[in-house]
Amino acid sequence: MNSLASLDVAGKRVFLRCDLNVPLSNGAITDDGRIRASLPTIKNLLERGASIVIGAHLGRPKGEIKPELSLAPVAKRLEELLGQTVDFISNNGAAVTLLENLRFTAAETSKDDAERGAFAKELATLADLYVGDGFGAVHRKHASVYDLASLLSNAPGFLIQAEVEVLKKLTQSPERPYGVILGGAKVSDKIGVISNLLSKVDVMAIGGGMVFTFLAAKGKEIGSSLVETDLIPTVKEIIETAALKGVTLVLPTDIVIAPEFKESATPTVVPVDQMPSDQMGLDIGPDSGAAFADAIKKCKTVFWNGPMGVFEFANFAHGTQVVAQALTEVEGISVVGGGDSAAAVRALGFKDSDFGYISTGGGASLEYLEGKVLPGLAALGL
């Protein structure tokens, strides 16, 4: 495996793939964690006399130029954090250049190898060397993540190296009990990882919007909560498999409901069997929070991805807060996986240092835990 330290970068131009996919609200960055996480590699390259062209993406523009997904605000923030000029499509000769959102070009994410390859060749003309550090995108077979790496001498950056080191600890004989807590909006995003992790973990706790598909599969009234009806049969199988494998499946016993999806909606706590048909579940209830926290604290290895409720609304943030707090009290390894989960714990007032490790990549870390080959890591020999 190549390492960044052994790559001779002095006087060279390095294409650095970063993950700068930060959350934005009205054009302002609400959490700059991914930019900060990219700094060690950028600074190291600059200190060693390289010039850098950074490639990154923001959101899912699907091959179209969408001004609201421009990396311009990221260039500005990067400039502030680095304390030096960042050239953003202005060709001002700075040592650091940030390209515009690579996903404005359809070929970046194309399923067609030739199309992606051609774009990678274009990108390769911009640099002498390639450093891959965009962990949040390594599960994607994209031109700048996968194809470009094979066209230039390459090495993983410090962030990717750190991420892989932590995830290895979770996959190679994790200390038990090993618990995984999953939340967030959609079951469909996580069905693969749930099925796969059932043969690896001792405890699986499920909250967030996705839990209502589980509750529906158990025949419960879920009112107007989020649900993916087509996945109910699959979820039934998951529940059966968990029982067969002796995995403790922790589901909420009470729910915080509201008549509408609104910050100002009045919250009410109901037992899971008493959801009215005209309300929706927006958080796990306090009894569930306590049970989830208890299950987490008994584990020696914990991985958490996805909020337990609509944490963006103060009245529905309690479940996520309690789970985050429990993670900080784990005696063992606790990993918060994912840019959104990381942003959630920071928004709730936790510090990065409260946790064992905060991964910058949700999808990527989940796929790593599933045991999948991740194209962006394979391309770097990892």
Contacts with ligand AMP by CB under 6 A lie at 184-186, 189, 208-209, 226, 281-282, 306-307, 309-310, 312, 340
In angstroms, what is the minimal distance from the CB of 251 to ligand AMP? 13
Known binder of ligand: residue 340? yes
Known binder of ligand: residue 142? no
For residue 181, report the phi and psi dihedrals to the nearest 5 degrees: -115, 125
Is residue 34 flagged as an active site residue?
A: yes
Known binder of ligand: residue 151? no
| Cβ neighbours, 10 Å, residue 347 | 16
Distances (CA, A) of 49 to 5, 14, 131: 13, 10, 15
Q: Quote the tokens at residue 258.
A: 């509201």
Known binder of ligand: residue 281? yes
Known binder of ligand: residue 356? no
In angstroms, what is the minimal distance from the CB of 166 to ligand AMP? 20
Judged by CB, which is closer to ligand AMP: 286, or 332?
A: 286
Is residue 121 flagged as an active site residue?
A: no
Distances (CA, A) of 382 to 50, 67, 98, 144, 268: 23, 35, 26, 17, 48
* Pairwise CA distance, residues 251 & 211, whole Å: 7
Is residue 27 flagged as an active site residue?
A: no
* Pairwise CA distance, residues 32 & 77, whole Å: 8
Of these residues, 339, 356, 361, 376, which one is catalytic? 339
In angstroms, what is the minimal distance from the CB of 226 to ligand AMP? 5
In angstroms, what is the minimal distance from the CB of 331 to ligand AMP? 27
CA 324 to chain centre: 16
In angstroms, what is the minimal distance from the CB of 131 to ligand AMP? 28
Of these residues, 12, 186, 218, 298, which one is catalytic? 186
177: cis peptide before it, omega within 30°?
yes
Of these residues, 17, 33, 34, 289, which one is catalytic? 34
Judged by CB, which is closer to ligand AMP: 179, or 306?
A: 306
Judged by CB, which is closer to ligand AMP: 34, or 116?
A: 34
Of these residues, 157, 184, 285, 363, which one is catalytic? 363
* Pairwise CA distance, residues 336 & 366, whole Å: 11
Q: Quote the tokens at residue 53.
A: 């062209």
Known binder of ligand: residue 140? yes
Known binder of ligand: residue 196? no
The closest alpha carbon to 191, from 323, 375, 370, 376, belongs to 370
Residue with tokens 């429990």: 326
Q: Using CB positions, name the residue nearest to ligand AMP.
A: 184
**Consecutive H or E run containing 284:** strand 280-284
* Pairwise CA distance, residues 138 & 90, whole Å: 28
Judged by CB, which is closer to ligand AMP: 124, or 256?
A: 256
Is residue 111 flagged as an active site residue?
A: no
194: helix, strand or coil: helix
Positions at the binding site for (2R)-3-phosphoglycerate: 34, 103, 140
Query: Which residues does the annotation mark as catalytic?
Result: 34, 186, 339, 363
Positions at the binding site for ATP: 190, 281, 312, 338-341
Positions at the binding site for substrate: 19-21, 34, 57-60, 103, 140
Positions at the binding site: 19-21, 34, 57-60, 103, 140, 190, 281, 312, 338-341
